[in-house]
Amino acid sequence: MYLTFDDGPGGATAAILDVLRAHDAKATFFAVGKNLAARPGPARRALAEGHAVAAHTWSHPNLTGLGPTALAGELDRSVAAVRDVGSDSRCLRPPYGAIDDPVRQALRARDLRPVLWNVDSSDWRRPGARATADRLVRDAYPGAVVLLHDGGGDRSETVAALRIALPELRTEGYRLRPVPGC
């Protein structure tokens, strides 16, 4: 099972890393380039602790609405920001999961692999830590790619949900690792 975190690094990233470490869990962080440039420390820590750091564009636009020049800028700047913190990831998560043929072509031209998800924790809705934890455990299955967030707003419920869900997932036998190849 693969936990992924979008929109950071943010104010909750360090706390999320603490929870992951406490439960011997690894994850993939899809970082927004401008956040990464402003706050590289958490991403460097994530890499040092065995997590993956990959691109989530420079400023989090819907890529399908961009022209070729703007699209290229979003991709190239975000990949450069990821590289600047020491990651060689060739993975990119398009914001909102929005992808079309021009975006696929731009990714392919840069040897970037799009990574989406198949379990949405809905933590961004802030339904409460227990509700998010219950969803994580209920929707878990081997190979699931789970969408969570470490940036883009108050993520205290996400941190609390992880404290609840990770022990339950471990008890059920899940190994939590970075997305392969990212």
What's the rounded Cα separation, in Å, for the pair 48 and 139?
29
Alpha helix segments (H runs only) across 64-171 = 68-84, 101-109, 129-138, 156-171
Q: Which residue has the tokens 């190239």?
A: 76
Q: Which residues contact 139 (CB under 8 A, 6 or more apart)?
A: 119, 146
| 56 a catalytic residue | no
| 149 a catalytic residue | yes
Q: Which of 51, 56, 60, 149 is catalytic?
A: 149
Q: Which of 6, 7, 123, 150 is catalytic?
A: 6
Active site residues: 6, 149
